[in-house]
Structure 1
């Protein structure tokens, strides 16, 4: 890289300082900062004679000095630096460019494309050094912002969203160490590495920087090649951190924590700019049966391949998150209703064709159900938006699963008005009476009305009762050992003749055998309870199923 332009700027800077100072006393701190910055820039540009001259001036003034320095003391020091700066340019470059316009700190902020290697904020008042480093780093595709004061650095830190900070310890308006302490809590929270850069990195300064949270320290003069390698290393480390923090380890999708953060950001963007997005909740159908029938390793494979299918079908700006268990959330920025449904339908059809290996030698397929909602002025709060997608999802479950359901307020309200039906089928009169008493007047959480209860003493009485009403929602507690018709036979009839999404079945059995439980689950039972059972546990299980029916 050609350094001539930066050497000329440095010489002009020395000339301007020399010409602007009156032949009078000067503040020692101003002089010290002048020599300090000059030394670091000269060393970085490879001007060893000027670096040594600046170092002599720096040492003569002293870092801790708080006095006024007479012209008889400072003039020889500045004059020596001036001669070395002009000598670095040669005879043709000696004249200062009086038309050069000084750049204000507020005008030094870069605005590069999103594909930059990383966003770097340099907080340092040495304008020649930082403009040189800016050029060096931008040639390596970094996006660089510059702050020449602590005040400006603080503003760019909060407003500019840097991904890494280079911070000088000596600033004109505030100690760099003080600034480090002030920003460190947020820097840690946002995983922003801070690298302290200074010409005076004593052991005490390094210790203070590390103890305050700095990741690295770099001593001036700066070797550009080493700086680039260090930044590339730290950005790679930072991205590994971020991936591990936001990624679900099993599926490779983002995790619930990241979903919560991103949905809030998208809502805030919508409120500010009206940029819309779709939220989709996706739930694998009968996933519990997959685990119970084929084992948890097969279940994990289903989750991984489901996430891979979705990730392979969406855009780079779309975000898939594992919401919990077998449920996922998909955020689709800049999609309208029709586009969002089309995306989900494409995924649903692709996943329905994925074949999984049965550990027992065969294969199986599975499906998912999705609920879709769009952000608008009436639902631009995360809880309401998620609630709508959740209601649409369970409306899809009730309608038969393996489908995409768009949130419809009138339809959801109509379904909420129907009571939940609790049916007990058991030949033990004591059990029936206890259940009727326990659930008398029960108002299921989230339902508009209290549940209706019915009981039957035999399978035949139940099957001949005309219990079913189209569109109704039922939770059935079915004894597995009835005297006339076996409970498993009733279960088989229910699963073959009625919409599974509207009829949830809990098997009650005193046969504490793994084979009986497995058979019931394979035939479509949603849960089972082994007698004798705890009534509190029974109530909790029924409440969970009621929430599932209600969506």
Structure 2
């Protein structure tokens, strides 16, 4: 299969080439849109990977040109539709919609995950008839993903789509145990998730069909209290699945790319350092400003591919700081210098791809997408290493800390789902840390497990008195500890879903939004970043209920919640505040940014048609008020009041509009609810 990559960033293009060539694809690269168009006219390709921001001819225009030529069967050397996969650093729903409307088949936001992008390529190429995919094997079982053929020894095993998906999940993660919840997340879509009983039913059916073909009844075995996995066979110690081999080869290849381009990365950061220096002198030229913004954009897209996720995030923050043509003076220059310094420190570390590439198969870190984050605080390095070895193969990201004096900054940085503490440690005891966590409104609900050799009644009573959720004694019994941690995380996930998600709209509820917004306010104050708070209210919603019934009103709310989730960044806070009122919090964004984003959402909403039970078509709009920290308020209550006043004026101005707080008077009377 031949793939054309149209990408002007040499580092990203080389990384993609290495990843795809390791999958046995033939890869060609064009560095600008016009060169890409020339190649497509001359040669036949099975798939095109297309960057959006390109010189000479941008990616959107090239995509439109390709689709136009294909529809007329002109210019191209073949007359079937070429799958197009867009690559971009822009992650807004509006940008995605533009790309897909231009004719793209899929859309990937940089930095991309190598395993994900290979999977997307395979999915797009399945429309052809010559895709060659690695066969997955486990003992006498063979699974060919290209033909979806399953054979046990000489017998063909006919499976349902869900059974195929289950078997492929296990075969691609052969030594991983999956809980029912983890299987639901991977096999079913978000809006069609059944109960865990459906997982057990599918497992039962899959086992029966495999047994009928000659496999053992426990080919998929139950790990009681935790989940399911493939039963290890005799050769498990030396077994390496094709997926693992490919992943290892890919990591090695990426390591080679990094070694070749490390100097260029350093030069790109040097440009940012120059920009920061000039900004501190209030002498940042437009040319250097634009150059620095471009370098930040490129770094944000490429660093994450090589394992520098924090570096990618820092580059993205720098890009946002330099965007929109805003002048960067001394005040912003200080923040810019801080971000660039942190970025320099990041890239001077060994990239994760090189660390991973040197690991052998004995290092059993099987899952790259952590189910949850566990933070462990213990002054014994051996205990920390043991817990990492025990927990990481179960899909958990384990953050370790051996000096409790750095507890708070580590906790804020990793935002764990579970905290494990030792009782006795130098400088600060686990009991003191537990008290700090329980007394802080931002972390008071964090589950805490104590792991300690002190098992006397007084110690046990003390830890539960300060708010511990569980207690496990040393020496560690691996299966017991893993079972208790996994079970507790499953309960946490279920309770959070019930307590924090509005079941009708599937966005956060007021309780969860309040917690997240207060966290953002704390970060905004600490890092001198803006926070945009918007209040949205559906216009004339009561009339919809009165005219068409509450079932139609619920459908409107449900669809509006879905639109909001799709329209904002993953890190933004989107919540139903009550009734037809919604709140959106955007960290690092100004009022003008928020107004622009909301106006796009308003336009998208108005383009949607709703249908009543009597088949009457109607449209809806919303009004919104937008406030910004710290200009309009320094806490959530004051920001809400100012945004609510702006919302009141938007309603008074005729509805169907978004107003920033500056256009609303900040008098006491302006807080009156519309």
TM-score (norm 1): 0.47
* Structure number with higher relative contact order (C-alpha < 8 Å, ≥ 6 residues apart): 1
The structure having more radius of gyration, on CA atoms, is 1
TM-score (norm 2): 0.39
